[in-house]
Chain A
């Protein structure tokens, strides 16, 4: 009895996922890339090659907006890396301490904002920081630091950093959970062996635990990178599509949205919008490739 060459069961099991993924991810992605090569002249779609990209990078107005948004995006990412990961590691280290009481409670409380909608987070923080109804000015007043209060979301210098910190507040639970899991998976034997060699306390963390959780930190960084460069919701919920003040909080996502769908009197331009979306795709692709080939392949793995 000959078995048929084609393993039908594999195809059958893969089919639903492949079909759904193709229909809602791959086709739209390539369609967006395709759309960026067209423009509309007198209600007709015309092929223009890379003309849209030439406008985006060559026209001083477009390119200024683009570089502004890209710069803001990097700053947004930088704040996340600077604040979110160290605090995430710190929280995870504290939570994994067996002597800590109520750790399940803390873990849940810190993770909860992650499951909230951007709109709720944006709105809640807008209210907290509001100069009129917010509790931020009163709280600072109560401890005699009222002079420190500024309408942070409304000032060009501070608004982007404030939003980045709000986003960190929301997503701190994810690095915390991933690193917590990585810390728990470190076998006690290794730590005990270290103790025999005189490595305890803080130095055990720096010399044993940190190298072992580095792969997790790498994953978190790349997740943060992709998340940040695709970000849109929080800025839109807190500052609107015009990403005020004076485009200080404009990131690629809001820039793409304004261009693609139009805003107020500006009619949408799906073709320029697609060009921006394609640029975003390329930026994220470069980032992910850099991570995969330059970092992950060099990362050492430990087998316990």
Chain B
């Protein structure tokens, strides 16, 4: 008897929920790997959107970062993916577009708010179609312990010579490990090392595009230069840095044991929470005083429209809003370190984030050299660069040899370099 009642009750609830859902016009679902941002989306971003657009409700359904690509691909193939799809930069998303899973968004009004560099990560190679609305980029540079700098009487270095003078001074004093980085996980060496200091050598976009066009090669001095600087880094890293992992490096810095941290801006939130000393940031030092400066302002995250979505109109409305200045302001302040890509003027409350975004005005922005097109073949240039950068820092390979190996690998499948 009671079971019948329960069943009836359940049925009734289901019907109620059913009617409640159909009372709202459209419900959009967002696929994402940013499960760290779940509360931000639920509490801030989505309510802000829904307040302006009654009739459209949005659900943020993230999966684990490491599984995202696989999960998304199987969902897309099975036709069960959400309406909106958070886009990884470059080839992963391009493959989705070419497979017909993402829609061309070039005609959206808000796309006009983004520069070519901002759009480049989600465009076809000829630039004719942009298939994701850019959301945020990360900027590379160095974060330092400002208290330690004050204690030792050091200034932010602007040239490579000054940079090594600062490192020498910290080393000589002995209180702090000069720089916190390890080579165990390899990617920091390439991402926070090579691609952080590199743009100053290869002149940002100019060198990057020349490499893609085959006009420069990885054995040119512009491209060996950063490896030569990395080879000198090994002396300033902590004891046993060969087995030091990425979380180790973060902790060494936030515990105040290391003075300088080669960083990506995504560290800001974590560092603010962990470190109890004042922090500052300086842009990658230039090789010679008076050189123009370049920074890696890497396009990292965007959002696109599932071609199979039945709610394309509502989704387009949402994407247009993502491209607006309002979204940029909300997103950038909620996640300091993920900088909006739109041309809209945004003020950041976090001083460290404000410092890093201010480099955009002083220096030329570029993206990581290995990400567009050049990592399409086997051997994969990005993965090879991890290995080469770590090898060079460890002193296991000379910069020239590493560069020659990278060039040989790239030329083995990339025609313009042959």
Interface residues of A (CB under 8 A from B): 43, 61-62, 126, 129-133, 137, 149-156, 239-240, 242, 244-247, 261-267, 269
Contact = CB atoms under 8 A, between A and B. Distances in A.
A61 B240 CA distance: 31
Given A61-B409, A154-B240, A266-B378, A244 B383 contact: no
A47 B151 CA distance: 68
Contacts of B382: 264-266
A239 B390 CA distance: 14
Nearest to A241: B383
A132 B375 contact: no
B214 interface: no
A137 B396 CA distance: 23
Interface in B185-204: 185-187
Interface size class of B (residues with CB under 8 A): 35 or more
A43 B99 contact: yes
Select the residue from A129, A132, A150 with max chain B CB neighbours within 10 A: A132
Contact of B243 (A131, A247, A264, A267): A131
A131 B380 CA distance: 31
A264 B92 CA distance: 10
Contacts of B99: 43
B91 A267 contact: yes
B92 A151 contact: no
Interface string B383-418: 100110011001010000000000001001000000
B390 A266 contact: no
Nearest to B397: A246
Given A245-B394, A265-B375, A267-B95, A151 B383 contact: no
Nearest to B90: A265
5 contacts: A132-B244, A154-B182, A154-B184, A242-B186, A244-B390
Given A151-B244, A265-B380, A132 B238 contact: yes
B243 A130 contact: yes
A150 B394 CA distance: 14
B242 A154 contact: yes
Nearest to B394: A245
Select the residue from B187, B239, B242 with max chain A CB neighbours within 10 A: B242
Contacts of A150: 240
Contacts of B383: 242, 263-266
A130 B248 contact: yes
B90 A61 contact: no
A155 B90 contact: no
A93 to B, nearest CB: 36
B412 A154 contact: no
A242 B186 CA distance: 8
A242 B379 CA distance: 13
B311 to A, nearest CB: 26
Please name the 10 residue pairs, one residue from A and one from B, whose CB atoms are nearest each other, closest first: A131-B240, A154-B242, A154-B243, A151-B243, A151-B240, A266-B380, A265-B375, A265-B382, A151-B242, A153-B243
A153 to B, nearest CB: 5
Contacts of B391: 245-246
A246 B396 contact: yes
